[in-house]
Amino acid sequence: MKRFAIILGLSALPALAGEFAVLSSGYRLHAERHEMDGGKVRLFENGGVTEVAANQIRSFEVEEYTPSHPTPAPPEILAVAPQPTTRELITAAAKKHGLPPAFVHSVVAAESAYRTGAVSPKGAIGLMQLMPATAKTLGADPKIPEQNVNAGAEYLRQLLLKYNGHTERALAAYNAGPGAVDRYHGIPPYRETRAYVSRVLRTYDNLNK
């Protein structure tokens, strides 16, 4: 299987001043700011907090920031913004959580084939096939496409952090659950999970060509 590594929070982030936490593995994680708390470092991003062991962070790099000066629309023109498409929602969710859009699109393609109303036999819902309990933990209504993809992208980010950027393990955990990955210390020997990981990475590779 071809190895991939997801680098969190690079050019796909909003234009806000911030920093990058450089992990000991070499991966860079974007944050608006950080706080030290004993052996932990809290990274603040998009209103959320991620805790990382201090010994996993090698350094911090300041993000370059160039403020933009948008030209306001004439006050007499009232433009109605078009509703974003499903693909635009997915891309926006990926950028919000510092993930490559092609990676999140590959997961959606494997999970639901872009069907907003998809429901699996096990009860997983929507574009990113969120289980109701997972969606509730993330504060999302999985039946609303925008909330579904935002929660799914956030969950993927959490899994990539948990497995230190190891993409195959994060995908296996998304499919079979972190407990199975931890129990087998890697991708579990489930035919469905192994096929799922291969399918997502193959799609991701094709989208990046």
pLDDT band at 141 (very low <50, low <70, confident <90, very high): very high
Residue identified by tokens 């470092």 is 41
pLDDT tens digit sequence for 41-74: 888 887 778 888 888 888 888 776 556 566 666 6
Element (H, E) at 200: helix 191-207
**In the chain, count of helices (H) and strands (E)?**
7, 6
Kindly report the number of other CB atoms within 10 A of residue 97's CB atom.
27
Marked catalytic residue, from 45, 111, 154, 168: 111
15 confidence band (pLDDT: 50, 70, 90): very low
Using CA atoms, how far apart are residues 94 and 100, in angstroms rounded to an integer?
6
Residue 149 has pLDDT above 70, yes or no: yes
Beta strand pairing status for 28-31 and 19-23? antiparallel
Residue 10, pLDDT > 50, answer no
Q: Residue 111 catalytic? A: yes
